């Protein structure tokens, strides 16, 4: 079989697998998962998404959904026999609290960012989404400043030198957050 024929066969199989998974976009019960697994190759690798994903990061009225998708994984990595093959990935996605069809449409999007602001900032900055990435980084810094300014200080002597120093650093972080939030929307991107 030629390389182009093998690639075409693999592409056809990948499309079939994606179409199979698309018929069950949300997994609400063990039965849903069992039905899906029965329709997939038994030797297919199973992986978990590294991140909880979110359909709309600012929306706080989201509900979680478990969603399957087909991804590529490297088998026998680091050997001459290493190959990229399809795997079933299970992930947790926060979706709108709406009808199942709306939830399913949100859950299957391939562009869903991580829910964690730190992971989301990293992903967006790496992908060139500078404005959103900087705003997410500002959120991470803001959360860090709040953690240091409240929880950490709870364990320190209020008027102690260390507590005073930590308050000063917390204020500096808050100033950096404010500057980042002003900078981000107007940042110039290379053309």
DSSP calls for 30-55: HHHHHHHHHTS-TT--EEE-SS-EES
CB atoms within 10 A of CB 183: 13
Judge whether 53 lies within some domain.
yes
Do 94 and 128 share a domain, yes or no? no
| pLDDT value at residue 2 | 59
Indicate the angle between helix axes 130-147 and 161-186, nearest 10 degrees.
Answer: 160
CA-based Rg of the chain, rounded to a whole angstrom?
A: 22
Q: Is 164 strand, coil or helix?
A: helix
| In contact, 86 and 70? CB cutoff 8 Å | yes
- Give yes or no: residues 122 and 165 share one domain: yes
Where among 57, 92, 112 does a domain terminate? 112
Q: Are residues 67 and 130 in the same domain?
A: no
Mean pLDDT, rounded, of the chain: 90
* Residues 139 and 70 reside in one and the same domain: no
pTM: 0.72
On whether residue 7 sits in a domain, the answer given is yes
Contact 51, 44 (CB under 8 A): no
Last residue of a domain, one of 60, 83, 112: 112
pLDDT computed for residue 126 by the predictor: 94
Instruction: Assess contact for 152 and 144: CB atoms under 8 A.
Output: no
Domain that holds residue 32: 3-112
Domain count, the chain: 2
Which residues, at least 6 apart from 138, have a Cβ–Cβ distance to it below 8 Å? Answer: 177, 180, 181, 184
Residue 142 has what pLDDT? 97
- pLDDT tens, N- to C-terminus, the chain (191 residues): 556 676 678 888 889 999 999 999 999 999 999 999 999 999 999 999 999 998 887 788 889 999 999 999 987 767 777 788 899 999 999 988 889 998 998 888 888 889 999 999 999 999 999 999 999 999 999 999 999 998 888 898 888 999 999 999 999 999 999 999 999 999 987 77
| The two structure tokens encoding residue 177 | 């957050």
Residue 103's alpha-carbon distances to 25, 64, 100, 110, in angstroms, are 9, 9, 5, 14
- Given a contact cutoff of 8 angstroms between Cβ atoms, the answer to whether 33 and 27 are in contact is yes
* 137 and 84 in a common domain: no
Contact (CB, 8 A) for 114 and 123: yes
- For residue 110, the model assigns a pLDDT of 83
Q: Where are the beta strands (DSSP E) in the chain?
A: 46-48, 53-54, 62-75, 83-96
| pLDDT single digits (tens) 57-77 | 778 888 999 999 999 998 776
CA–CA gap between residue 57 and residue 110 (Å, rounded): 15
Name the residue among 30, 36, 154 with its Cα closest to residue 88. 36
Q: pLDDT at position 172, please? A: 97
């Amino acid at each position: 079989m030629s390389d182009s024929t093998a690639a075409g066969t693999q592409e056809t199989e990948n499309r079939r697998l994606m179409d199979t998974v698309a018929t069950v976009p949300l997994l609400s019960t063990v039965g849903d998962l069992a039905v899906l697994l029965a329709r997939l190759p038994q030797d297919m690798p199973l992986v978990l998404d590294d991140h909880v994903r979110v359909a709309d990061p600012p929306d706080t009225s989201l509900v979680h959904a478990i969603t399957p998708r087909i991804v590529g994984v490297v088998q026998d990595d680091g050997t001459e026999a290493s190959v990229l093959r399809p795997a079933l990935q299970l992930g947790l996605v926060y979706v709108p609290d709406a009808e199942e069809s709306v939830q399913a449409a949100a859950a299957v999007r391939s562009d869903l960012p991580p829910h964690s602001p730190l992971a989301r900032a990293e992903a967006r900055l790496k992908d060139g989404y500078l404005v959103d990435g900087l705003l997410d980084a500002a959120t991470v810094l803001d959360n860090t400043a709040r953690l240091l300014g409240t929880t950490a200080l709870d364990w320190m002597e209020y008027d102690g030198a260390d507590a005073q120093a930590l308050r000063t650093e917390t204020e500096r972080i808050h100033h950096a957050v404010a500057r980042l939030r002003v900078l981000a929307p107007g940042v110039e991107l290379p053309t």
